[in-house]
Chain A
Amino acid sequence: MSEFSIAKLQALDESEWARLQEEYFPRIYYYVRKSIKEHQTAEDVVQDTFLGAVRGIPNFKEEYTLDQFLFGIARNRIIDFFRKKKPIPISSQGDDGKTRSYLGLERFASERRSPDESAVAFEFSSAKREALGKILKVFVQELWESGEFQKLMILEFLLALGGRNKEAVSRFGVRDEKAVAGIKFRALERLRSLARQMDPSHEWFEGLWKPGAR
């Protein structure tokens, strides 16, 4: 993978932007086409994504990768596209597991958020989100290194895709719901432990330090 100079991109250097575009536009295009099948509309979204990247590059944070930056903008453009379209009735989304995928969740992102969820999302500031992202990456890395791929699948299903314990039992052949709950509980404990290491000043995850917090 090529390296890009953030300083040059922030200085709006045309050749650096052309190089970045050359590297990323096919991927962004294929990514957009997962949700938007019509070629011309997908092209427009890709174009908007790169224009959004030019606008957003002055605020680019080094903690992120360009990958995350570009795909994040593309994701938001796709959500905007679906928001502008007629909303899909809640009943048709159902809870039949069809949205238990990244694509399903992204497609319905604008309609799925409840007021409760919005409050939680708002509560987590950008710095906390970044810290949480780092913690999750460390945790996923630990699971890779220890070869716990079954556990990783179950946790991704539960935590990232919002799957239910009951669904995980049949989908992954786990003994019972209690066993699934145990996997989830231990994962959250490990994440809390990593959060404690990363937050020695007790500022980001204050809930962890209250009496009775585990």
Chain B
Amino acid sequence: MVDPEKRINQMTFTLGQVWREMRVSCPHPDILLAWKEGSLEKGPSSYLDFHVNEAECPVCQAVIEDLERRGKDAAEESALLEDLRESLLSSTRTFLRDQKK
């Protein structure tokens, strides 16, 4: 008989792993944008303060950075990403052709 407390702890761990990996609480990018623009109500806004800033959800942070980059002229950053874009296109294209052979 499994100790109920142990079972809850095990279930909690598994929940946590699935919660993180499947990003169950990550909001839609539109909601993230509204939060950044300060147009969300207090409740969801304080939740996103927690999720993005305190819990440091890296996916939401990345989405926000990308949305912000698209919204402003960041020449240096754009140049950096342009190099990456070119090398990615080239490496993926080569790999796709190899895979098809």
Contact = CB atoms under 8 A, between A and B. Distances in A.
Contacts, number: 160
Contacts of A124: 14, 18
Interface size classification for chain A: 35 or more
Interface size classification for chain B: 35 or more
Contacts of B20: 102, 105-106, 160
A179 interface: no
A97 B37 CA distance: 30
A22 B63 CA distance: 14
**Majority secondary structure of chain B interface residues (helix, strand, loop or mixed):** helix
Interface in B1-54: 7-8, 10-25, 29, 43-44, 46-47, 50-51, 54
Interface of B: 7-8, 10-25, 29, 43-44, 46-47, 50-51, 54-59, 61-63, 65-66, 69, 80-81, 84-85, 87-89, 91-93, 95-96, 99-100
Given A102-B57, A136-B22, A136-B24, 20 more contacts: A12-B99, A14-B96, A17-B96, A18-B92, A18-B93, A22-B85, A25-B85, A34-B56, A72-B21, A75-B21, A102-B55, A104-B56, A121-B13, A124-B14, A136-B18, A156-B25, A157-B50, A159-B16, A159-B19, A160-B25
